[in-house]
């Protein structure tokens, strides 16, 4: 089984990545991570272990997780992904806005926060009920054509929405909740695999997005996902060096890993 995946057909990433949501203030993933230097050390250790795909979002903090990644990994040869289309105003208060003007500004902010001229993967975090997905996609395609982002991803979508987006432009990834205990999106895993689209399951360990702690045994849960389909890229998040190293060991339980 291949340990890597070509994101968008041209960015080779290890299929065990890192999700940065927990590197924020608590409760509610709101505010800056209190141990900023410790967070940077964790991220650089992940890169040292071979992790080369890091997933963040504007809503994490908001913007603080992106800034932490930018400070820690600006000089590293890694793929950085973020999301937009949501702003967060309090631990329990967010607003969707995937209008073209807002997405453009959020891309510009992400370029500053991540310290990258080109964002490797910019994902629409949620579909805005007030803005057709086609309109949001057109804005992202324009940003790609203008050299601001390399690839476009979608999060929290069904097959119909993905097809509507694909009619406008290429989609490199889909990020929906999936783990061995929550399998509602397994059909979409297969659909994306057939099309060379990465499936990035959030909640891979069954954790509640606003609470710490894994509901599933980490290594077994990650191994199940890695074996489920060759396009799955897992992004377990942690604030612990020990858990980081445990997550990175998941390949040891995957049959036929090379």
Contact 235, 57 (CB under 8 A): no
- What the block records as the tokens of 234 is 């897992």
- DSSP annotation of 224 reads H
- The long-range contacts involving 235-238, CB below 8 angstroms and separated by at least 24 positions, are 235/17, 235/18, 235/19, 235/53, 235/55, 235/200, 235/201, 235/202, 235/204, 236/16, 236/18, 236/19, 236/204, 236/205, 237/18, 237/19, 237/20, 237/21, 237/22, 237/23, 238/22, 238/42
> In whole angstroms, what is the distance from residue 169 CA to residue 29 CA?
32
Please identify which of the residues 33, 60, 191, 202 carries the catalytic annotation. 60
> In whole angstroms, what is the distance from residue 232 CA to residue 178 CA?
10
Asked about 202 being catalytic, the answer comes back as no
> In whole angstroms, what is the distance from residue 90 CA to residue 102 CA?
19
How many residues can be counted in the chain? 258
3-class state of residue 62 by DSSP: coil
**Beta partners for 84?**
124
Active-site annotation, residues: 60
């Amino acid at each position: 089984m291949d340990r890597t995946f070509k994101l968008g057909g041209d960015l080779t990433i290890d299929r065990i990545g890192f999700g940065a949501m927990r590197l924020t203030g608590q409760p509610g993933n709101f505010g800056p991570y209190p141990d900023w230097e410790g967070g940077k050390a964790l991220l650089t250790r992940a890169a040292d272990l071979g992790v080369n795909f890091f997933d963040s979002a504007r809503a994490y903090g908001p913007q603080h997780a992106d800034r932490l990644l930018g400070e820690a990994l600006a000089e590293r040869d890694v793929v950085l992904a973020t999301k937009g289309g949501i702003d967060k105003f309090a631990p329990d208060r967010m607003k969707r806005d995937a209008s073209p003007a807002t997405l453009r500004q959020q891309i510009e902010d992400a370029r500053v926060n991540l310290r990258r001229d080109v964002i490797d993967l910019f994902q629409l975090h949620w579909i805005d009920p007030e803005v057709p997905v086609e309109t949001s996609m057109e804005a992202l395609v324009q940003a790609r054509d203008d050299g601001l982002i390399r690839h476009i991803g979608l999060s929290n979508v069904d097959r119909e929405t993905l097809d509507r987006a694909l009619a406008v432009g290429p989609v490199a990834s889909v990020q929906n909740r999936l783990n061995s205990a929550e399998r509602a999106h397994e059909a979409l895993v297969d659909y994306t695999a057939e099309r060379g689209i990465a499936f990035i399951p959030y909640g891979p360990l069954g954790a509640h997005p606003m609470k710490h702690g894994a509901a599933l045994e980490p290594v077994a849960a990650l191994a199940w996902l890695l074996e489920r389909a060759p396009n799955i890229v897992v992004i377990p998040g942690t604030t612990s060096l020990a858990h980081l190293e445990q997550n990175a060991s998941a390949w040891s339980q995957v049959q036929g890993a090379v």
